[in-house]
Amino acid sequence: MDAARISHKGLSTLEQEVMLDQLPVRGTLPAWLTGTLVRNGPAQFEVGSQAYTHWFDGLGMLHKFTFRDGKVSYANKFLKSKAYQKARETGRISYTEFATDPCRTLFERVFTLFTPKFSDNAVVNITRIADRFVALTEVPIALEFDVETLETIGVFDYEDTIGGHTTTAHPHYDPVWRSAINFVTQFSPDRRYNVYRIPNGSAQRRLIASIPVSEPAYMHSFAITERYIILTECPFVADVDVRNVILGKPFISNLKWKPERGTRFTVIRKEDGAVRTFETEAFATFHHVNAFEHDGEIVIDLAAYPDASVYTYDFYLEQLRSTTQTIALPHLRRYRLCLHDGRVAAEALAAEPLELPCIDYGRYNGQPYQLVYGVNLHRARPQSFYNQLVKVAVQTGDTLRWYEEDCFPGEPVFVRAPTAAAEDDGVILSVVLDGKTNTSFLLVLDAATFTELARAEITHHIPFGFHGQFFGDMV
């Protein structure tokens, strides 16, 4: 079978919802590994005779793995968003997604001027707000769910009036403020970035800074340090009125690549909301790795692509399902923002490309660090989807790899051992599609040696997903 074709199962619909009290485990799980991994991602790629066009657009599904006493349970369930429910009721795509147009009638398009239909398909990530579990996407609509049953409870209501049309599904946590930090982008009529924090236990967002902007940029993630919040504005920008989005145009069609603008780092000081801008050459990115302050500089590490094709071409399902295409890969790049004179310096961190980056977030986010984990392609077996896990030392470029033929690992999640001293004292969890059997398994690697400790096997495939979180206080 063609190697690229094997990965297509990961981009096909999973219909069944199951609850399995115990998965068969090959190998031995660490005795200390207790808690719950919740992952998010698309699981339905067509509705009736219509199909979603982009990986980001499939209807979302939650997957839960719970570890206790050397055993693993599993459950999965669709997010019962309005987009999902309407699709089931009508047998058609009814909501505009990131890159999919529902092809509404002219009457429906005009009607949405008065009743906007932003999709609540919260397919990207997981977090907790006010001690409640929510699924996130890139519009500011979070869906609350019951972490025990995975049943959708409904839209999470913020107790404030901060407005905006898009956001990131990658909020940060500030341990000093004991608050989550994120921002919403407001497109029209008053274009600005509203940067806010949410204190522990609260559902009220508190504004840190409101920054006017002429052409808002698409930003999938951002970075924080001890004293600063950094928005990386690549020149993929909106220069149209938000009414075009309301009328049903997919979000991505309202953005243009303007490399002549360059990329701008908008730096917000946490203590008073003061804003400063740094400029460098154009690049594209989805994910930041980390950021920290050092010797009068802000250091920002991210996964950089050379141009906008990663936004406008590479992740469309037609390309990912191609038998001749290989998935686009970014390289690790470090930017140094000099606080004294405003200069920006860039350097490559490692020769190894890497996407879906992960660090020991709880200990090292916003701090100097040494190690990052991610996915990429095996050099001898490039395929149409990620087929290798990697561990990279950012100072030396030294790399460890996990690869198994015709297997496709998802985002690595680092779980620190309770008595950890070293930065890599813990395990890596990754959901892997086995292309030989068209089923999936949860892989557990020793983070230090990158060798396999165990795998928990599932009898069906899990479609390629995006992000997840491990909650160690859950059993």
- Give the count of alpha carbons within 13 A of 309, CB side only: 9
pTM: 0.94
| Residues in the chain, pLDDT under 70 | 1-7, 103-117, 239-248, 474-475
- Asked whether the beta carbons of 129 and 203 are under 8 A apart, the reply is yes
Cβ-contact 458, 74 below 8 angstroms: yes
Cα distances from 414 to residues 46, 71, 128, 303, 360, in angstroms, run 33, 19, 18, 18, 6
DSSP string, 191-231: -EEEEEEEETT----EEEEEEE-SSPBP-S--EE-SSEEEE
Please give the mean pLDDT across all residues of the chain: 92
Domain count, the chain: 1
Picking from 154, 151, 128, the residue whose alpha carbon sits closest to that of residue 141 is 154
Interior angle at CA 240, CA 236 and CA 245, nearest 5: 95
pLDDT at 384 (0 to 100):
80
CB 391 within 8 A of CB 416: no
Residues pairing with 431 in the sheet: 442
Task: Return the CATH number at 374.
Answer: 2.130.10
Sole residue written with tokens 């919802």? 17
Residue 8 has a pLDDT of 83
Backbone angles phi, psi at 390, to 5 degrees: -135, 155
Report the alpha-carbon distance of residue 86 to residue 137 in Å, rounded: 18
What pLDDT, on the 0 to 100 scale, is given for residue 229?
A: 98
**Torsion angles phi and psi, residue 112, rounded to 5:** -70, -10
Burial class (CB in 10 A: 0-12, 13-18, 19+), 340: exposed
For residue 142, the enclosing domain spans 3-471
What is the spatial distance between Cα 58 and Cα 75, in angstroms, rounded to a whole number? Answer: 19
Cα gap 228→266, rounded to integer Å = 10
C-alpha–C-alpha distance, residues 464 and 12, integer Å: 9
Instruction: Give me 227's structure tokens.
Output: 């004293």
Q: For residue 38, what are the contacts with CB-CB under 8 A and spacing of at least 6?
A: 62, 63, 64, 126, 133, 147, 468, 469, 471
Q: CA–CA separation, 214 vs 457, rounded Å?
A: 50
The two tokens of residue 140 are 């500011």
Residue 30 backbone phi and psi in degrees, to 5: -60, 140
Distance CA 265, CA 339 (A): 12
| Dihedral angle over CA of 116, 465, 374, 125, nearest 10 | 40
Residue linked to tokens 């050459």: 281
Between strands 236-238 and 59-68, the pairing is unpaired
pLDDT at 323: 80
**Which distant-in-sequence residues (6+ apart) come within 8 Å of 353 by Cβ?**
329, 330, 331, 332, 376, 377
CA distance linking residue 259 with residue 241, whole number of Å: 21
- Omega before 140 within 30 of 0, i.e. cis: no
Listed in sequence order, the residues at least 6 apart from 294 whose beta carbon sits closer than 8 Å to its beta carbon are: 368
Which 3 state secondary structure label does DSSP give 243? helix
Q: What is the pLDDT of residues 174-194, one digit of tens each?
A: 999 999 999 999 987 789 999
pLDDT at 254: 86
Specify the DSSP element, H or E, that contains 88: helix 82-90
Report how far residue 72's alpha carbon sits from residue 66's, in angstroms, rounded to the nearest whole number.
5
Rounded Cα distance between 84 and 16, Å, is: 15
